[in-house]
């Protein structure tokens, strides 16, 4: 089984509110169907969630009643995005089911307090593809906070120990610096936990309440510590995801799992 993360920057235009990249998601769904692999999919909130969550300061927890409107609006928008992803998967022959994280998990100060995977297990047993996503959910200490797609991937990787974890991004993989800001950034083909620890990353400039690439690197390090290989692949380039799924050589960054 494979764990997949569709980044919000791949499936949406994160600079434009509620802008879904339908052609890109069509292509990714086509590649998933062609690969014929069992998988769990997590997708980011992109411009359906980050802009509203930042506007209402939802990741800081509950402080005023005015945030409740923001909570409801953000949740409604990411559910809309999830429905668009599900529709696209269905159109390409993948029987998927949406699982909002608030139905499975409660946080405590931004960290998992409870996570029930029974419903995921049951859907997998039936041959359905679970699809969950970044959202706002209850937080015991904060009232509510953000549950990012990266946090979900990390939890699911620890629970299911998949054959591989694939992050589908809007870049070719990891670089020595942010390639959007530094033309001298060098591409990293493969790396280890130790090497990642010395990698300096630059946060993205658009509205992102989940720490951008810097947070992703920390997530990948924790996944790799469970002995799970992780791949970062550009979802905007046709067939890179497909080739990664079927173990065919293509351009990606490979982070080796290492339990030591």
**What integer is the mean pLDDT of 74-92?**
97
- CA 172 to CA 235: how far, in whole Å? 8
The per-residue pLDDT for 210 is: 44
Q: Tokens 């997708």 correspond to what residue?
A: 43
Residues contacting residue 162 through CB under 8 Å, at least 6 positions apart? 1, 2, 3, 40, 156, 228
Percent of the chain with pLDDT over 90: 78
What residue ranges define each of the domains in the chain, with the CATH number in brackets?
Answer: 2-255 (3.40.1160.10)
Tokens of 177: 């610096």
Q: Look at residue 168 and tell me whether its pLDDT is greater than 60.
A: yes
Residues contacting residue 151 through CB under 8 Å, at least 6 positions apart? 112, 219
Q: Look at residue 48 and tell me whether its pLDDT is greater than 70.
A: yes
The per-residue pLDDT for 196 is: 80
Q: Could you read off the pLDDT of 207-250 as tens digits, one per residue?
A: 444 455 677 888 999 999 999 999 999 999 999 999 999 999 99
Q: Could you read off the pLDDT of 128-162 as tens digits, one per residue?
A: 999 999 999 999 999 999 999 999 999 999 999 99
Task: Identify each DSSP E strand in 29-104 by its residue range.
Answer: 39-43, 96-98
- CA 184 to CA 156: how far, in whole Å? 35
- CA 209 to CA 215: how far, in whole Å? 10
Q: Tokens 């990411």 correspond to what residue?
A: 78
Q: Could you read off the pLDDT of 5-27 as tens digits, one per residue?
A: 999 999 999 889 999 999 999 99
The C-alpha R_g of the chain, in whole angstroms, comes to 17
Position with higher pLDDT, 214 vs 188: 188
């Amino acid at each position: 089984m494979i764990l997949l993360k569709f980044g919000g920057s791949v499936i949406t235009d994160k600079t434009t509110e509620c802008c879904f990249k339908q052609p890109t998601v069509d292509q990714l769904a086509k590649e998933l169907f062609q690969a014929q692999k069992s998988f769990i999919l997590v997708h980011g909130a992109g411009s359906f969630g980050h802009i509203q969550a930042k506007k209402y300061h939802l990741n800081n927890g509950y402080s005023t009643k005015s945030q409740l409107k923001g909570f409801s609006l953000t949740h409604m928008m990411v559910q809309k995005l999830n429905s668009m992803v599900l529709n696209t998967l269905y159109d390409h022959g993948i029987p998927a089911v949406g699982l909002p994280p608030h139905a499975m998990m409660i946080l405590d100060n931004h960290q998992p307090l409870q996570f029930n995977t029974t419903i995921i297990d049951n859907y997998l047993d039936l041959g359905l593809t679970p699809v969950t996503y970044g959202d706002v959910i209850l937080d015991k200490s904060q009232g509510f906070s953000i549950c990012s797609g990266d946090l979900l991937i990390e939890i699911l990787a620890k629970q299911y120990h998949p054959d591989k974890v694939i992050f589908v991004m809007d870049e070719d993989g990891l670089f020595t610096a942010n390639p959007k800001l530094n033309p001298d950034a060098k591409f990293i083909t493969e790396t280890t936990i130790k090497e990642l620890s010395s990698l300096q990353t630059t946060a993205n400039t658009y509205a992102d309440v989940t720490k951008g690439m810097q947070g992703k690197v920390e997530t990948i390090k924790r996944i790799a510590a469970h002995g799970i290989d992780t791949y970062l692949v550009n979802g905007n380039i046709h067939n890179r995801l497909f080739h990664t799924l079927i173990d065919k050589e293509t351009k990606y960054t490979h982070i080796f799992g290492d339990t030591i």
